[in-house]
Amino acid sequence: MPREYPSAPLIGVGAVIVEGGRVLLVRRAHPPLQGRWSIPGGVLELGETLHQAAVREAREETGLVIEPGELLGFYDRILRDSEGRVQYHYVLLDFLCRRLAGDLLASSDAAEVDWFLPADIASLNLTADTVEVVRNAFLRNRT
């Protein structure tokens, strides 16, 4: 199914990786949200569990091996074109994750990756749901 102008919503997973009081974000290389900072993640593939998708997407975009933990939240991302048609429609499930291994490297759909402190979040022009889930992750993180 195409991601742009889909015939049904797509399921997306996000890996909210918090370490040392910082969160890992990626700058999107492709639409939607091209050029904006976001949580590492992507679309669930057929036959894949939500946790498997989070692990795969985190590795593809950041080079890190992660372990997904608790579900932080679920969100609708519906973006319409100038005529009001649904151009993108995702149901997003974001998991609090911890790094197990790997070296940080932007790849796949990420133009850039970096760690951010809670104080940095307001200046990044994140979507409202991304701000919410990142703040939730900082509150729930135990490391």
Ranges of H-type helices in 11-97: 50-62
Query: How many Å separate Cα 98 from the centre of its chain?
Result: 14
Which among 4, 45, 70, 112 is annotated as catalytic?
112
Nearest to 42 by CA among 69, 20, 10, 71: 10
To the query of whether residue 112 is one of the catalytic residues in this protein, the response is yes
Q: How far is the C-alpha of 31 from the C-alpha of 19, rounded, in Å?
A: 27
Q: Are 56 and 48 in contact (CB under 8 A)?
A: yes
Q: 67 pairs with which residues across the strands?
A: 98
32, 34, 51, 82, 111 from 65: Cα distances, Å: 25, 24, 12, 39, 19
**Catalytic annotation, residues:** 112
